[in-house]
């Protein structure tokens, strides 16, 4: 499934970069007014009432993703996600054969899909509210009742290999991203792409998928999120009746290897004759929300100041004033279980090299570190972030995505509901401290960045051979 | 770009459609100054979404040596207006979290405004200025040129983009639709602020304006807002319309060789327009054949049974001066001829055998029932209202569409298939290194890019 898997995963962060901090704020002014329950079998339930249209989105999020794969089996989490549409039980109904899940949803006038990230795997259906019980019986049925046939595993393996060709092999920018992550996340599963390495994907078997499924898919390792024209009580009653039938089952604790304290900045250069527009990117390793909620919110504010729109620092300096780049931006995704990435990237205008642009980017980082961000910039950034919480309610799936993505990566419900109030307390001192800590080459806490160049063959930067660019000026 | 647009159309329109009128209550509003709009009031979230279009003011107006002019107009109209230069204008938007954007497709020029209700007064003022007194200062014009040229250079490493570009060139050969609506590297270079001023003045007027609004606003307040935003617009004077064009190079296969492991396949044949009485029947057929992804015949045969692709879709595209039925897919180089064989076979099956009752019922349920799902935000509602108006559909179109879809029989589907589907009329583009394929022509340089 999942034409839009990656897009959707990305959307979570675009719609609303993660929620916030651990401290409880006393106010009833919540963003979504979600309700929360837990079944006896450990299934957590979030309900986000929204009565604008007579429809619901029903999502099940498993707290398992590509980063939980056994070594040598890269891609199995995503492959399993595909195989979940290849036949399954239905609670209180007839089994669905391969392909029937989505057909059934369409025959109800609904839409369904699924997506996989490093830390979670999610399945969703959007249907008229009257069909909520039907889709619940179907999704609950495949929580422990997957019935994929061996021959379907064979043909579906070819599909994921085609998916990899389409997304990655045919696309030099995607191949560079893959190699940069591999360089940043040494001795950590985030260095392996979600889709998997081709040579390992080719060998993934029915048993591999089955083992992964048996090990991780269980009510006590899942979150049910329902948004739309339904009440908490209605969902609770239905879920008790349907999901309540599934037995709890021991799921291992997530065990992830950790990254050694490397010192040297690395450079990755990918040249390909099809490249006409060079790109420079820098990846910094920074805390995720789960690792350090406070710093994570400060980093989000920093990113809003550096890169929130055409008047932001990076765009204004490199694109509007210096005119050496056609784009310049900074991004950060805090909704991950382990270390997060902060990425800076830019595309040079004709007549300028990636080194020229890199130098200009690093000048902006130096100005940030020397002079800091102002109180005005911080107040304005926070106000924009708070407005985004109002816009976030103007959607059916968006809020469900926000809760699922945040809760599977260690956020709490109150972090989301009180996010606007929590970020109101951030000061420019907080933002400057976090910039110093993670972007300064002097900082003991900063991991060395990975610099990546996407280039046509003739345009390699001169210092490419010594593998040690990336220093600030 | 065409393919992208076709998919957007697919997602926004056919999926979108129906609603019993109690769910989507469309009001027609006329301002004191005579500006009309369609409105769906919804006070559940304090936001307002407004989408508007200038009919006939799209890329089809671009001169051949200034391809991308309309796109550039859309890029620069939010880059400074009245007393505010680009940075000041953008800062006003940003500080109040107001989004104003413009966009241009082959046929029409469109724009959108998305604001919190509490900032709507300022939002209307800024939008009114962007529409009536845009500055087109040299700095943003140059900057947008660079951004577009960079976009084109980036797209050159994307085989899907290359296939779409070649398809436009082949399928609409000799017509303005064959031009690159995003511009070429050199045509963009030649565009001046005066070109933009001329196009702005002549093509965006009250007489070709349509407006769609959804969200936290009353009929009365919208009336006032419409005058505030649009009353300063002149009357547009558009040049003579281009001629209609049928799909060109039918039956021809063109190959663009590229050293990649997977070949991109794009095909298009003549189609059907939205004004045709059998259009909804064709949508039902297209759903069963290939527009629906999972469950469609093409996905079943090509992806589910054989694992030959990650995605295969058919679509109906309907532009002002042409229409078509297309297929998009990709597969490893050695499987291209196998996929082409299956497509041919599915085209025949659709014509020779009636669809099953179950296929038909699923198609109907989905095409009717998925509309409310796709209309769960103010932006999606306003987007639907706009596209209906741009296509000159009546305000009760959604009700009529539902009736028509419900009435479709297996025989109707077969007869529209016999009328429309013809593999021999396919114009085919292949990008990659397909094995066992003899192309009618091999393309060495991409047209309308440099």
Structure tokens at A146: 């997957």
Yes or no, beta carbons of B308 and A126 under 8 Å apart = no
Check: CB of residue A338 under 8 Å from CB of residue A471. Answer: no
**Whether residue B38 has pLDDT greater than 50:** yes
Structure tokens at B220: 């009365």
Q: What is the pLDDT of residue A458?
A: 77
Q: What percent of chain B has pLDDT over 70?
A: 95
B232 touches chain A (CB under 8 A): no
Closest chain A residue to the Cα of B46, Cα to Cα: A390
Work out the pLDDT band at B16, boundaries 50, 70, 90. Answer: very low
CB contact under 8 A, B86 and A393: no
On the question of pLDDT at B11 being above 80, the answer is no
A40 CA to chain B: closest CA distance, Å? Answer: 32
What pLDDT is attached to residue B162? 97
| pLDDT for residue B23 | 62
Q: Known catalytic residue: A81?
A: yes
Q: What is the pLDDT of residue A262?
A: 87
Q: Using CA coordinates, name the residue in chain B closest to A104.
A: B362
pLDDT for residue B311: 97
Q: Which chain A positions have a beta carbon within 8 Å of B309's beta carbon? A: 159, 162
- By Cβ distance, the residue of A165, A383, A390 closest to B332 is A165
Average pLDDT over residues A52-63: 96
- Beta bridge pairs of residue B325: B269, B316
Q: State pLDDT tens for residues B163-194.
A: 999 999 999 999 999 999 999 999 999 999 99
How far, in Å, CA of A171 to CA of A290, rounded? 32
pLDDT recorded at residue B24: 85
* B205/A contact by beta carbon, under 8 A: no
pLDDT-derived band at B8 (thresholds 50, 70, 90) equals very low
CA–CA distance, B139 with A124 (Å, rounded to integer): 46
Among B291, B366, B376, B384, most A C-beta atoms within 10 A, so best to mutate, is: B376
* pLDDT averaged over every residue in chain A: 92
Q: What three-state secondary structure class fits B143?
A: helix
B328-350 pLDDT, tens digit each: 999 999 999 999 999 999 999 99
CB contact under 8 A, A326 and B307: no
Mean pLDDT of chain B: 94
Does the pLDDT of residue A3 top 90, yes or no? no
% of residues, chain B, pLDDT over 90:
93
Q: Report chain A residues whose CB lies below 8 A from the CB of B96.
A: 387
The Cβ of residue B423 has, within 10 Å, a number of other Cβ atoms equal to 17
Show which of residues 386-445 on chain B sit within 8 Å of chain A, judged by CB atoms: none
Angle at alpha carbon of residue B234, lines to B228 and B239, rounded to 5°: 140
Whether residue A7 is predicted with pLDDT greater than 50 in this model: the reply is no
Mutate to test the interface with A, among B295, B299, B357 (most CBs of A within 10 A): B295
Q: For residue A28, what pLDDT band results from cuts at 50, 70 and 90? A: low
With cut-offs at 50, 70 and 90, classify the pLDDT of residue B293.
confident
Interface of B with A in 82-141 (CB under 8 A): 86-87, 90-91, 93-97, 114, 116, 139
- Predicted confidence (pLDDT) at residue A6 exceeds the cutoff of 50: no
The whole-number average pLDDT for the span A331-342 is 97
Q: Are B265 and B339 in contact (CB under 8 A)?
A: yes
pLDDT at A469: 34
ipTM: 0.92
Residue A9: pLDDT band (50, 70, 90) is very low
- Supply the pLDDT for residue A377: 97
Q: Is residue B148 over pLDDT 70? A: yes
B257 touches chain A (CB under 8 A): no
* Interval B258-288: pLDDT, tens: 999 999 999 999 999 999 999 999 999 999 9
Reported confidence tier of residue B2, pLDDT bands at 50, 70, 90: very low
The reported pLDDT for the residue numbered A26 is 41
Contact B143 A319 (CB under 8 A): yes
pLDDT tens digits along B99-132:
999 999 999 999 999 999 999 999 999 999 999 9
Task: Express each pLDDT in A89-128 by its tens digit.
Answer: 999 999 999 999 999 999 999 999 999 999 999 999 999 9
- pLDDT-based confidence at residue B20 (cuts at 50, 70, 90): very low
d(CA A324, CA A362): 14
B45 CB neighbours in chain A (<8 A) are 52, 390, 393-394
The answer to whether residue B157 neighbours chain A at the CB level (below 8 Å) is yes
pLDDT higher for A20 or B206?
B206
> For residue A419, what pLDDT band results from cuts at 50, 70 and 90?
very high
Residue among A44, A69, A81, A358 flagged as catalytic = A81
Inspect the interface and report whether the beta carbons of A159 and B116 lie closer than 8 Å: no
When pLDDT is averaged across residues A440-450 and rounded to a whole number, the result is 94
Report residue B28 as tokens: 């027609």
Burial string for A83-119 (b: 16+ CB within 10 Å, else e) reads bbbbbbbbbeeeebebbbbbbbbbbbbbbbbbbbbbb
User: Closest residue of B to A396, CA-based?
Assistant: B376
Distance from CA of B375 to the nearest CA of A (A): 8
Condensed to tens digits (0 to 9), the pLDDT of residues B44-59 reads 999 999 999 999 999 9
Query: Span A410-432, mean pLDDT?
Result: 97
**Distance (Å) from the alpha carbon of B90 to chain A's nearest alpha carbon:** 7
Cβ within 8 Å, pair A107-B365? yes
Q: What size, in residues, is chain A?
A: 473
CA distances from B356 to A22, B6, B346 (A): 56, 27, 14
Per-residue pLDDT for B18 more than 50? no
A316 to chain B, minimum CA–CA distance in Å? Answer: 8
Contact B44 A50 (CB under 8 A): yes
Report CA-CA distances (Å) from A332 to A14, A258, A294, A329, B280: 10, 20, 14, 10, 45
A402 burial type by CB count under 10 A (0-12 exposed, 13-18 middle, 19+ buried): buried
Is A266 in contact with A450 (CB distance < 8 Å)?
yes
Q: Return the H-helix or E-strand segment holding B267.
A: strand B262-270
Q: Rounded CA gap, B131 and B233, in Å?
A: 7
What residues in B contact A319, CB-CB < 8 Å? 143
């Amino acid at each position: 499934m999942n034409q839009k898997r990656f897009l959707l995963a990305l959307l979570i962060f675009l719609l609303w970069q993660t929620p916030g901090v651990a401290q409880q704020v006393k106010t009833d002014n919540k963003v979504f007014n979600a309700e929360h329950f837990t079944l006896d079998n450990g299934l957590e339930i979030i309900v986000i009432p929204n009565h604008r249209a007579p429809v619901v989105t029903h999502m099940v999020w498993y707290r398992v993703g590509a980063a939980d794969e056994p070594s040598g089996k890269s891609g199995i989490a995503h492959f399993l996600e595909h195989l979940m549409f290849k036949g399954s039980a239905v609670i209180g109904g007839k089994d669905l054969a391969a392909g029937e899940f989505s057909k059934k949803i369409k025959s109800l006038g609904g839409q369904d899909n699924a997506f996989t990230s490093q830390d979670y795997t999610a399945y969703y259906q959007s249907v008229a509210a009257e069909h909520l019980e039907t889709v619940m019986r179907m999704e609950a049925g495949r929580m422990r009742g997957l019935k994929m046939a061996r021959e379907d595993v064979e043909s579906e393996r070819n599909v994921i290999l085609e998916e990899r060709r389409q997304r990655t092999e045919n696309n030099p920018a995607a191949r560079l991203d893959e190699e940069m992550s591999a360089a940043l996340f040494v001795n950590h599963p985030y260095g392996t792409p979600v889709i998997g390495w081709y040579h390992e994907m080719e060998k993934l078997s029915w048993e591999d998928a089955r083992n992964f499924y048996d090990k991780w898919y269980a009510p006590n390792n899942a979150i049910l999120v329902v948004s739309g024209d339904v009440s908490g009580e209605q969902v609770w009653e239905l879920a008790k009746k349907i999901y309540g039938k599934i037995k709890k089952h021991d799921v291992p604790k997530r065990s992830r290897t950790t990254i050694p304290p490397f010192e040297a900045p690395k450079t990755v250069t990918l040249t390909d004759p099809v490249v006409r527009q060079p790109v420079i990117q820098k990846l910094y390793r920074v805390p995720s929300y789960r690792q350090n909620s406070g710093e994570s919110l400060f980093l989000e504010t920093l990113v809003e100041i550096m890169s929130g729109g055409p008047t932001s620092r990076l765009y204004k300096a490199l694109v509007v004033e210096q005119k050496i780049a056609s784009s310049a931006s900074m991004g950060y995704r805090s909704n991950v279980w382990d270390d997060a990435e902060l990425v800076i990237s830019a595309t040079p205008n004709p007549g300028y090299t990636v080194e020229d642009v890199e130098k200009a980017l690093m000048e902006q980082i130096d100005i940030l570190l020397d002079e800091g961000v102002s109180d005005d910039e911080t107040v304005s950034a926070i106000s924009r972030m708070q407005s985004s919480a109002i816009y976030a309610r103007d959607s059916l799936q968006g809020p469900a995505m926000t809760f699922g993505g945040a809760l599977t990566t260690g956020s709490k419900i109150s972090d989301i509901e009180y996010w606007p109030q929590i970020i109101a307390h951030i000061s420019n001192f907080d933002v400057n401290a976090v910039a110093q800590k993670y972007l300064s080459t002097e900082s003991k806490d900063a991991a060395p960045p990975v610099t990546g160049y996407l280039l046509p063959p003739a345009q390699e930067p001169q210092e490419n051979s010594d593998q040690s660019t990336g220093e600030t000026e | 770009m065409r393919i992208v647009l076709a998919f957007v159309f697919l997602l926004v329109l056919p999926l979108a459609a129906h609603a019993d009128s109690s769910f989507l209550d469309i009001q027609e509003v006329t301002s004191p100054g005579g500006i009309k709009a369609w409105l769906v009031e919804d006070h559940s979230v304090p936001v307002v979404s407004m989408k508007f279009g200038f009919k006939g003011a799209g890329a089809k107006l671009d001169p051949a040596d200034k391809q991308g002019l309309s796109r550039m107009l859309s890029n620069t109209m939010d880059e400074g207006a009245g007393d505010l230069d680009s940075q000041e204008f953008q800062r006003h938007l940003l500080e109040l979290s107001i989004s104003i954007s413009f966009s241009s497709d082959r046929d029409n020029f469109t724009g959108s405004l998305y604001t919190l209700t509490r900032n709507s007064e300022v939002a209307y003022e800024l939008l009114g200025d962007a529409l009536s007194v845009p500055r087109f200062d040299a700095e943003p014009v140059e900057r947008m040129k660079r951004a577009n040229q960079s976009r084109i250079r980036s797209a050159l490493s994307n085989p899907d983009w290359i296939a779409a570009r070649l398809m436009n060139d082949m399928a609409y050969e000799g017509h303005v639709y064959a031009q690159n609506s995003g511009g070429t590297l050199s045509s963009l270079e030649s565009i001046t602020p005066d070109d933009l001023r001329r196009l702005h003045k002549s093509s965006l007027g009250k007489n070709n304006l349509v407006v769609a609004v959804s969200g936290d606003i009353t009929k009365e307040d919208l009336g006032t807002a419409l005058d505030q935003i649009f009353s300063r617009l002149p009357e547009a004077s558009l040049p003579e319309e281009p001629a209609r064009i049928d799909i060109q190079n039918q039956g021809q296969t063109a190959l663009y060789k590229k050293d990649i492991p997977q070949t991109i396949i794009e095909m298009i044949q003549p189609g059907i327009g939205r004004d045709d009485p059998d259009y909804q029947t064709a949508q039902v057929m297209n759903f069963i054949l290939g527009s629906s992804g999972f469950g469609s015949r093409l996905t079943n045969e090509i992806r589910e049974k054989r694992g030959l692709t990650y995605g295969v879709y058919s679509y109906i595209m309907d532009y002002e001066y042409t229409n078509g039925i297309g297929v998009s897919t990709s597969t490893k180089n050695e499987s291209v001829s196998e996929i082409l064989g299956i497509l041919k076979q599915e085209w025949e099956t659709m014509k020779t055998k009636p669809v099953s009752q179950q296929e038909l019922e699923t198609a109907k349920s989905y095409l009717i029932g998925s509309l409310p799902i796709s209309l769960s935000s103010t932006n999606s509602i306003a987007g639907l209202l706009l596209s209906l108006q741009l296509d000159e559909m009546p305000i009760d179109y959604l009700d009529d569409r539902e009736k028509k879809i419900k009435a479709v029989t297996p025989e109707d589907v077969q007869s529209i298939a016999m009328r429309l589907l013809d593999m021999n009329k396919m114009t085919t583009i292949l990008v990659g290194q397909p094995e066992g394929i003899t192309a009618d022509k091999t393309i060495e340089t991409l047209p309308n890019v440099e």
